Chains A and B, each alone.
Chain A
Amino acid sequence: MQHRNALAAMALMGALSMAVAGARAQDLSKYPDWSGQWRRIGGIQWDPGKPLGRGQQPPLMPEYQAIFDASLADQGNGGQGNNARFTCIPHGMPRAMTATFPFEIIIQPKTTYMLFENQPDRRIYTDGRDWRAISSPPSRVTPSVIGSRMAQAASICSRSRPVT
């Protein structure tokens, strides 16, 4: 009887430990609340602090300034210039963050997702993976419009508080 009671107690302890481990792995209370819908503040231009077009004053090399000038000239003539977006090619990064339409952020322990309304979703890996591990053969990063990104949720005040 004594032996059976001890075994039953141990089995219960084991089951509860597994349940606690599962619950702890999904403890999202230490992350900031970024739920809801996020809309941009300000204009759609890349640098929201400056006007569109040449007013952006992008620090371009002469070769690429010429491309930019040609794009503006074509648009002045009724064309689309260097703006692939008009063919429904996505903005990609970093232009996706100009947020033509609202987006949503989902935080999970190993990945933070950004869901856009007409862009590929962003997956921001926070599982500690290293660029070197995925940039050397045989696995390589395949270029994509939205790119590949990793982030580190670093704590500055304590182990349990991420940088906000």
Chain B
Amino acid sequence: MHVRASTGALALVAVLGLAFAGAQPIDAGKYPDLKGKWIRTTAATFDPSKPAGLGQQAPLTQEYQKILEASLADQARGGQGNNPMAACIPPGMPRMMIGYGGGMEIVTTPGLTYMLMGEPMLQLRRIYTDGRSWPENFDPTFSGYSIGKWQEPDRDGRFQMLAVETRGLKSPRSYDSSGMPFHRDNQAVVKERIFLDQADPDVLRDEMTVIDHALTRSWTVTRSYHRERNPSWMETICGEDEHQVKIGKEQYFLSGDGYLMPTRKDQTAPDLKYFNQSQK
């Protein structure tokens, strides 16, 4: 009886093993379940653990600290400062991981992980996990070029962490709405460790480290998101109801009745030299 039970178990194991092999190579059992909608649980500042603006204590060089201070001063006067998103320019990396708008969706396939962002610029990240090397040339983009590697810290055959490096970023970008700037050389590199919280699988963490020549040291922050398992997706289009109007270096506003209006006291009207001034 003892021998027959063991033989039967072994036979069953063999059958199940074949069935499992037949379902390869797309073995989603190795990957963490990242389905659903991920919504940020933290503030819309780059470092969610600190207050906005100067409270972020961004480790900027003197030159770039002045850019931040000028941005904040302009915002205090009614302008947008160094905040390209006000003109519907995409946030880009790493700012897009703040998680604006309706949350994000992560789609995992064996050689590529996609992040579909729900913010009004509707950005998309492709994180290549197919083992490729960095290309010699690529066109800079706001999302950048991302290469990732799935890792199994527990060595149990299941991936638990996605380590990502992103290069090839273009300007203009800022860290968040305060206008913390990146170096004009566009050589910033963003490294991430993305993983589910061990205590709660409906919490996702993204530990981000930025390496940039405008910083005095690398800057690491951790963002968190909670999961909505049966989401409905909202569509938000930045240009659909955009009232911010930028003409040259000046920021204006389109009023509710459709007229151009100033955004700060004593702001001058735009130059109308190309219009026939005699017609009124």
Residues of A within 8 A of B (CB): 1-2, 5-6, 9-10, 12-13, 16-17, 19-20, 22-29, 87-90, 106, 108, 113, 115, 119-121, 123, 139, 142, 144-146
Name the residue of chain B whose CB is nearest to the CB of A142: B234
- The 20 listed contacts between A and B (C-beta, < 8 Å) are A5-B6, A9-B6, A10-B9, A13-B13, A16-B13, A16-B16, A20-B19, A22-B29, A27-B26, A87-B239, A88-B238, A88-B239, A106-B114, A113-B107, A113-B114, A119-B122, A121-B122, A142-B235, A144-B235, A145-B235
B235 adjacent to A20 (CB under 8 Å): no
Kindly state whether residue B2 has any CB partner on chain A within 8 Å.
yes
Nearest-neighbour CB distance to chain A for B254, whole angstroms, equals 12
15 further interface pairs, Cβ-Cβ under 8 Å (given A2-B2, A16-B17)? A5-B2, A6-B5, A9-B5, A16-B13, A16-B20, A17-B16, A19-B29, A20-B19, A23-B28, A26-B27, A29-B26, A88-B88, A88-B239, A106-B107, A120-B122
A-B contact count (CB 8 A): 88
**Interchain CA distance A2-B2 in the complex, whole Å:** 5
- Could you say which residues of chain A place their CB within 8 Å of the CB of B234? 142, 144
A90 adjacent to B237 (CB under 8 Å): yes
Nearest-neighbour CB distance to chain B for A134, whole angstroms, equals 8
Residues of B within 8 A of A (CB): 1-2, 5-6, 8-9, 12-13, 16-17, 19-20, 23-24, 26-29, 88, 107, 109, 114, 116, 122, 124, 232-235, 237-240
Among all A-B residue pairs, the 8 with the closest Cβ atoms: A9-B9, A26-B28, A144-B235, A22-B29, A23-B23, A88-B239, A16-B16, A2-B2
Name the residue of chain A whose CB is nearest to the CB of B23: A23
**Interchain CA distance A144-B122 in the complex, whole Å:** 13
Nearest-neighbour CB distance to chain B for A151, whole angstroms, equals 16
- Could you say which residues of chain B place their CB within 8 Å of the CB of A90? 237
B2 adjacent to A106 (CB under 8 Å): no
**Interchain CA distance A25-B28 in the complex, whole Å:** 8
Name the residue of chain B whose CB is nearest to the CB of A144: B235
Name the residue of chain A whose CB is nearest to the CB of B19: A20
Name the residue of chain A whose CB is nearest to the CB of B25: A29
- Could you say which residues of chain A place their CB within 8 Å of the CB of B88? 88
B13 adjacent to A2 (CB under 8 Å): no
- Could you say which residues of chain A place their CB within 8 Å of the CB of B109? 106
The 8 Å CB contact of A121, one of B12, B116, B232, is B116
